[in-house]
Each structure stands twice: as C-alpha cells, then as structure tokens.
Amino acid sequence: MKGSLMQEAVLITGSSSGIGMETALFLAKRGFRVYASMRDTSRSKPLRDAARERDVSLSILSLDLTENKTIQQAIEQIRCESGGLFALINNAGIQVRGFFEDIAEEEMRTVFETNLFGTFAVTRAVLPLMRKARKGRILFMGSLGGRIATMGSSAYCITKFALEGFAEALYQEMLPLGIHVSIVEPGVVRTDLFGRNRTFAKRALDPGSPYARWLRSLESLTDEWVASRTMQPGAVARVVCRALESKRPRLRYVLGPMAKSLVLGKRYLPMDFMDRLYAKGLWQKVESQGLAEKNDRGIPNG
C-alpha cells in the first residue's frame, strides 16, 4: 500500500462476519491500523482466528449502533491510540424479511434504528476528527437493493435507498473539507445475511398470512440465487480498499455482473418499462417456483 497511508486508522462496523470481517482482515494485511467493531464481542472468535491464520493484527471494539455511549467510547479509544481516524466503513446492517403488511411497526423501526439512525450516529461521531485533520474517507455499504427494490425485502431496501441519498448529500457537504464519501453497491454476496442471520418478521411465514406462500417461494428462489453466485466478501473488501487508496475515489462502486446489468437497465431504459419488466419477471419466477414445489410434493396442479 502507499506509504502515506501506512498505519492510518480505519473503523469498520459489523465486523463479526461476512463482508465486515473480510474487509477488516484485508485492510489489516494492506497495512491499515484496523479497528474492527461489533455489537457483541463474544462473537469475535472467528475474526481473531482468521487474523492469526493470516498473520495480521487488528483491534476489536465493542460498538452497538443503537447505543450512543458505545459509539463515543469507541471513537475516544481510537483518538487516544491513533490520534485520529482516516476512514469509517459503515458496514453494519440487519434485515427482516417478509411482505410489507406482515412486518410490524416495531420490526420496521428496529431495522431503521440500526441501518439508518445507527449509521447516522457513528458518522456524526467521526466527522469532528476528520474535519480537524482536513482529510478522511467515509464509506457506506450499500446494496443493489438500494437501487432496485425487491419484494419481501421492503424494510432492508427502504434503508438502503435512504443510504443512497445520505451518501450523495454527505458527498456534496464534505467536498471542501478534504473528506471523500463513497457507497459500495454489491449484488448478491454469499454471507450470513442469507444464512444464520436471515431474519423473518414474526407474521411473515404464518400460514394465516395471505403472503406466506409467495414468501416461501421467494425464499426458495433466493437460496438458488445465492448458491449460483460466485461473488465472495473478499471481492467487496478489495473494492473498499481501492476506494480508500484512490486519490479520487468515486461516489458509487457497483459490484457484480447482475448488479451492473440491472443498474444499467434502470439508467437507460424508460423507468416505467424497467419497473414493469423487473416486477413481472420476478412474479413469474415466484409463481413457477411455488408450482414446482407443489409438484415435488405430489400435489396436483390447479
């Protein structure tokens, strides 16, 4: 890595697994002074073990995006140990899957508190350090779901769409201060978000829900899509590193062939046409998946 960035401090939220963990390891290997944060440090063993295997050192911090006290404590520790902070990577996020009517208000608020207001809080906390240094990088982990929404993921997509607007506004505000803002937008990545961290609204799979059968088909399709995708967290980590090391980082980084194709389609095709095409195609797949599952169980068609 460039000598001028050697041992620059980087804070990463949501580092216990997936993209956050891989990014922490990758940046530590590149010579950054990495502070890998997570809500529950009892889940840090996989990260510690991986750091030992790759022969890298990093610091693990307790940081809960919904608890401002932990944010302030983490930033103060970084300030005392490193004298400042070069980069913040806003990676932490949660989801609750289900059709909108099945998602209770408190479930929706929980997603917003972490994905949006928690991200606002930690970003606000680091800005004084970066303004003082007249330099810094703020990266948001967005998603294809922040550019093109998908049914069954309304809570997640809404917050990712909001991050797009936040990143764009902050990018403009930080321009004269030497602070660069970027948002990374990967397509489907094989992470625990589609595994042990896949969370459903309480009512989402209830047989009494009018949407339950569609959601089951959609989840089956999702499993197939994830299994067929080759993009791993390491690919995202490399793009994050590129944004940190670039003299002129871009505002947006889109990753993955499917994501790039859909974003280009939405850019160049008439908006109404693209929206109808995507929705119709998705519904056809959901209905076909549900029919196939019925046939697999020996249930007659019709």
Range of the domain at 58: 3-209+230-256
Question: Would 287 be classed as within a structural domain?
Answer: no
Which is more confidently placed, 266 or 152?
152
Question: Would 176 be classed as within a structural domain?
Answer: yes
Q: Model's pTM, two decimal places?
A: 0.90
Residues 156, 171, 211, 253: which is the catalytic one? 156
What is the pLDDT at residue 291? 55
CATH of the domain at 173: 3.40.50.720
Question: Would 52 be classed as within a structural domain?
Answer: yes
Provide the domain count of the chain: 1
C-alpha separations of 188 from 13, 89, 127, 162, 173 in Å = 20, 19, 31, 19, 30
- Which one-letter amino acid corresponds to residue 171? Y
pLDDT interval class at 299 (50, 70, 90): very low
What is the pLDDT at residue 45? 96
Question: Would 91 be classed as within a structural domain?
Answer: yes
Annotation marks residue 156 as catalytic: yes
Question: Would 74 be classed as within a structural domain?
Answer: yes
Question: Would 101 be classed as within a structural domain?
Answer: yes
Over residues 181-204, mean pLDDT = 83
- Which one-letter amino acid corresponds to residue 249? P
Could you give the percent of the chain with pLDDT greater than 70?
A: 90
Query: Is residue 81 classed exposed, middle or buried when 0-12, 13-18 and 19+ CB atoms within 10 A define those classes?
Result: exposed
Query: Is residue 124 classed exposed, middle or buried when 0-12, 13-18 and 19+ CB atoms within 10 A define those classes?
Result: exposed
Mind listing the pLDDT tens digit for each residue in 287-296? Answer: 887 655 554 4
Mind listing the pLDDT tens digit for each residue in 129-145? Answer: 999 999 999 999 999 99
Mind listing the pLDDT tens digit for each residue in 197-213? Answer: 689 999 999 999 999 99
